[in-house]
Amino acid sequence: MDCNKLAEDRTPELGMEFNSEEDAYKFYNKYAFKIGFSVRKDYLNKDKDGVTTSRRYSCCKESVKRKYEGDMMPKRTQAPTKTGCGAKMVIVLLRGTMKYRVHDLVLEHNHELHIAQCSHMMPSQRKVSETQGFQAEISEDAGLSLKQSHELMGKEERSLKYGEAGSMLNYFQEQTLENPSFFHAVQLDCEEQITNIFWDDAGMLIDYNFFGDVVTFDTTYKTNKEYRPLGVFVGFNQHRQIVIFDAALMYDETIDSFKWVFSTFLEAMCGKRPSTKLTDQDHAIVAALSVVLPEIFHGLCTFHIRHNFMKDLGNHYKENSDLPYMFGACMYEIEEVE
């Protein structure tokens, strides 16, 4: 099979022939671009005259990432960059024609392939600026997939501009380098757009281990200009001071978003569940908690109870009425369970 076949069929086959080693690489790299993986030039053999007699091209995820050693914990957000993938194409030189023939071929991959929009960012396909290339590399180091990095560099996060998303990514990267216990996660929607972002640091994790029995989750901190809900997991320490356990910048307040946030909260906290969760009366939060944390006690924040009291019973309130005081006594001064 000669190179004329390549224009019609861009899937490698045993027996394909190429006029040069470079032609073989270009063909396999174009195929990789279409499929969604990056090519690495592996071993080659040369004769005494320096002519390449055989060459192997492999998937960039061929080898297996070395496990951490000693007391250094791995980054919890680090995505596996090596999976032991066996995909490869091996070419050998035919002395009679001085062409290269596909001698060994494996097309199957053992990992998720990249979406088409991200293919140009893979190492063997990269045609981006030096700055973009550096950003993609630090994104990979931070455990973000190419599609996540692509969103941060190439698109807006809904109405969140790249500069803001990129700044957040850089901050996460700096924190991860300073302390491997720093945790962050990004959720994408079906259109590969960033929706929800979650993070915590080592100090938050330590506080949660000590004071995480009762956790309040609140999304009323809508102070950013995009008016996105900022969900904060908070509690009290032994001095009755507020401590923050986690934070999440959310796109919306739907059941699916809250389910992702609560599930990511459990992942960040290594599966440790609080005994009590305090929230407002939002039906989406209630529905999400019933799925992700069905076994814990779910209570309502006193702030929201007071707010709803004035909203729903305000018409019963009259000047010099003792109703607010009676209501407050019911909330704060009852010492017996009955």
What is the domain-level CATH number for residue 255?
Answer: 3.30.420
17 shares a domain with 55:
yes
Asked whether 44 and 51 are in contact (CB, 8 A), the reply is no
194-235: per-residue pLDDT in tens? 788 999 988 898 999 999 999 999 887 655 455 678 889 999
pLDDT confidence bin for 279, thresholds 50/70/90: confident
Q: Is the residue at 329 inside a domain?
A: no
Q: Note down the domain range covering 97.
A: 3-65+74-116
Do 151 and 211 lie in one domain? The reply is no
Compute φ and ψ for 187, nearest 5 degrees: -105, 135
Query: How far out from the chain centre does Cα 241 lie?
Result: 32
First to last CA, the chain: 86
What does the alpha-carbon distance between residue 161 and residue 241 come to, in Å, rounded to a whole number?
35
Exposure on the CB side of residue 36, measured as CA atoms within 13 A? 14
pLDDT value of position 75: 42
Flag whether 160 is in a domain: yes
Do the beta carbons of residue 21 and residue 55 sit within 8 Å?
yes
Question: Which of 41-45, 106-110, 125-129, 269-273 has the weakest average pLDDT?
Answer: 125-129
In a domain, 325, yes or no: no
Q: If we measure between CA atoms, which residue out of 71, 42, 70, 66 comes closest to residue 56?
A: 42
For residues 311 and 304, the answer to whether their CB atoms sit within 8 Å is no
- Do 161 and 187 lie in one domain? The reply is no
pLDDT of residue 116: 54
pLDDT band at 69 (very low <50, low <70, confident <90, very high): very low
Q: List CB contacts of 6: < 8 A, sequence separation 6 or more.
A: 16, 27
Same domain? For 79 and 143 the reply is: no
pLDDT of residue 325: 78
Tell me the average pLDDT of the chain: 77
Give the 3-state DSSP-derived string for the chain, with helices as H, strands as E and coil as C. Answer: CCHHHHHCCCCCCCCCEECCHHHHHHHHHHHHHHHCCCEEEEEEEECCCCCEEEEEEEECCCCECCCCCCCCCCCCCCCCCCECCCCEEEEEEECCCCEEEEEEEECCCCCCCCCHHHHHHCCCCCCCCHHHHHHHHHHHHCCCCHHHHHHHHHCCECCECHHHHHHHHHHHHHHHHHCCCCEEEEEECCCCCEEEEEEECHHHHHHHHHHCCEEEEECCCCCCCCCCCEEEEEEECCCCCEEEEEEEECCCCCHHHHHHHHHHHHHHCCCCCCCEEEECCCHHHHHHHHHHCCCCEEEECHHHHHHHHHHHHHHHCCCCCCHHHHHHHHHHCCCCCC
Q: In this structure, are 212 and 250 located in the same domain?
A: yes
**Structural domain includes residue 195:** yes
Q: ∠ CA(321), CA(308), CA(338), 5° rounding? A: 75
pLDDT digits (tens, 9 = 90+) for 153-196: 544 344 444 556 677 778 888 888 888 888 988 887 766 677 88
Q: Are residues 57 and 25 in the same domain?
A: yes
Looking at mean pLDDT, say which of 33-37, 64-68, 291-295 comes out highest.
291-295
User: How many structural domains does the chain have?
Assistant: 3
**Per the domain annotation, does 336 fall within a domain?**
no
Residue 38 forms part of a structural domain: yes
* Pairing mode of beta strands 39-46, 194-200: unpaired
